[in-house]
Structure 1
């Protein structure tokens, strides 16, 4: 059985779907154990000569004049994208729609490509839509699977980032409905997302939905060194510095702690984004500037997570965040908001604590109050829960089981 895994982005992009595809690419031998020949198709498949991969990109020192200028430009564009319809359209066209169309068009011109697969698994909505429109006649016997990398509301993250585009919601829904109608199956990343999509779409998604958790490789054998203060409680947050990821909530949470308890903590942000300067200002206004550290974007975040005492992510919107799964694989207690599929990653009091808007400092106080025995037990729980549910091999096993169901696989294909 030949399966195409398709994403209208670069394989080294930092977004969730690209991370999942990279993990699958590194484990194609595992798919072959299930008689599944997985082919990865991204923009790199056609434009790899013109794309600067992450490891080859010129490094820019955090704090350099060019870096600061670039960040100010990004901040301006981000602000205009939220406040200006024109900027929103230009940004989404450039980042999402044009790349998706380019990939679908290149695949269209590759005459033999679309006649050689049994199943196409598509990771982003615009690529899925263009593929259906451009390739409706090619290999009509092939099956089509779409993955919702979100909380079950396909456009929620897009419209949170670009609220002015809400005037196009009707047309976005038409795109989603056409994808659903063509799909033979839909993969969701959590039971929460499945319930939400069922509520939104009703009978249109009957018998098409399948929950498969994201899985990641095991990184516990890597070496790591950081400059963390070993006398402090080091809590780390990895991700783009933006409103959706909720780093501002982390700062507010820290400021609410009693002074003596607050003094124990060092909060580390790993990542960059348009909110960086706003967060620095907030940190200064809350008198937290000696406890909060901005490490910038890193090619390898492993050392910062591995050496931490806990992981925090207070997002306002999520699918099934890989950063939490990575922290669990390293046996870290998790402090998180119960959004999207996070409630299926973090069990309050078992492998972490859930942030509650009504009692905001409670999760952090409960963590800091743990005895050494209870803390060690929570770390073991976090690791064990990862091993039981979120390894890349478990994800592949579940995917291949679905592929066979969708294609009515009988061992002869």
Structure 2
């Protein structure tokens, strides 16, 4: 069984992080699983994966992932692998078109990572999406909410959909040891209280609300923003305009996220929408309270194991944070509930389900 995962790049995001963590584990189980990215930017995630001796990492080295010429560059790979597992748009489209033009019999699998995107609300792209999804033997939905969205908006046959929830390496987060806060940045005191948000800098993730909430909190509460993206300059300007330069720290893309989570006090997820954010599970697995926006893809995951606030409401977010930091008993209660909740999302379960799916598709 030769399987190739295809994704736009390994910049920053939940899907990208998932592949970094899981593909090496597939290969340790004697499953031949490789990776291909459309662009060849040397992001930290990509460098980490290339350092692995378990797999081959390919790249189209495309300067523009939206260039249709990527279709023809993909065709040779469809002939080398038994099954192609695709993540994110536009790779989602290009692989299907490569299959059509090449008459390849390679089985295709796609993972839908989010409950919302620009194509779903656009009638023109909804028609195209319906066509594209027909060529995937199976569509993996990482949550029941995503499955419901696809059935409702794209009228996809439910038999084509399968729910396989994401997972993380629970043991890694359990064993990770915290460091002194001053080691993260010299301008952070060990007595400070740290909020942390791990997410790409794009509209969906709404770091704006996390930043604004600091206006309603004491000076010793500071925010770590882990990630990067197109909105970074806008976020830096916002921090400067609010006079929060000494309280917000842009850490960039980091490979030591478990350490940063363990060394922080509260994990914040302020997204406008989500699929099944790994950052929620990772925060809980780090035994830290999670405060998240009450949106699809998040509230079902947080349930009673964390705190929810109204999307975009920075005052309510600040209030939830104060509730936790002002009551040690309550803080520990929420942290413990989250830690127990995270145990059901071990990555081993996800890998086993995916391997069963691959086998079933290739045997047909």
* TM-score normalised according to structure 2 size: 0.79
- Residue 364 of structure 1 pairs with residue 318 of structure 2: yes
- Residue 25 of structure 1 pairs with residue 23 of structure 2: yes
- Residue 121 of structure 1 pairs with residue 59 of structure 2: no
Deviation at 1:196, TM superposition (A): 1.4
Contact kept, 8 Å, 1:283 with 1:292, in 2: the verdict is yes
1:237-252 paired onto structure 2 within 5 Å: 237-252=197-212
Aligned to 2:55: none
Alpha-carbon RMSD across the aligned residues, in angstroms, is 3.3
Counterpart CA distance in 2 for 1:211 and 1:243 is 26
1:156-305 paired onto structure 2 within 5 Å: 170=124, 172-202=125-155, 204-218=156-170, 219-220=172-173, 221-225=175-179, 226-227=181-182, 228-255=188-215, 257=216, 261-305=217-261
Any idea what the Cα deviations from partners look like across 1:98-127, whole Å, max 9, x if unmatched?
A: 58525523325xx5x24xx2x432223443
- From the superposition, tell whether residues 41 and 175 of structure 1 become closer, same or farther in structure 2 (CA, over 3 Å): farther
- From the superposition, tell whether residues 337 and 99 of structure 1 become closer, same or farther in structure 2 (CA, over 3 Å): farther
Counterpart CA distance in 2 for 1:53 and 1:287 is 31
Aligned to 1:41: 35
Residue in structure 2 matching 1:95, options 40, 59, 65 = 65
Counterpart CA distance in 2 for 1:26 and 1:314 is 30
Deviation at 1:177, TM superposition (A): 1.6
- From the superposition, tell whether residues 290 and 139 of structure 1 become closer, same or farther in structure 2 (CA, over 3 Å): closer
Aligned to 2:350: 395
- From the superposition, tell whether residues 40 and 275 of structure 1 become closer, same or farther in structure 2 (CA, over 3 Å): same
- From the superposition, tell whether residues 377 and 5 of structure 1 become closer, same or farther in structure 2 (CA, over 3 Å): farther
Length, aligned pairs only: 339
- From the superposition, tell whether residues 6 and 277 of structure 1 become closer, same or farther in structure 2 (CA, over 3 Å): closer
Contact kept, 8 Å, 1:5 with 1:21, in 2: the verdict is no
Aligned to 2:53: none
Deviation at 1:275, TM superposition (A): 3.2
Contact kept, 8 Å, 1:240 with 1:272, in 2: the verdict is yes
Any idea what the Cα deviations from partners look like across 1:373-407, whole Å, max 9, x if unmatched?
A: 2211221222221111x221011122234335545
Any idea what the Cα deviations from partners look like across 1:296-349, whole Å, max 9, x if unmatched?
A: 3434333322200011121123222222222222122111113341123212xx
Contact kept, 8 Å, 2:126 with 2:154, in 1: the verdict is no
Counterpart CA distance in 2 for 1:55 and 1:396 is 20
Counterpart CA distance in 2 for 1:291 and 1:125 is 35
- From the superposition, tell whether residues 359 and 9 of structure 1 become closer, same or farther in structure 2 (CA, over 3 Å): closer
1:1-80 paired onto structure 2 within 5 Å: 2=1, 4-10=3-9, 12-29=10-27, 31-32=29-30, 37-43=31-37, 52=42, 54=44
Q: SS at the partner of 1:135?
A: helix
Deviation at 1:351, TM superposition (A): 2.6
Show structure 2 runs of 5+ residues with no match. 48-61, 183-187
Deviation at 1:408, TM superposition (A): 6.0
Counterpart CA distance in 2 for 1:52 and 1:277 is 21
> Which structure has the larger Rg?
1
Counterpart CA distance in 2 for 1:56 and 1:152 is 26
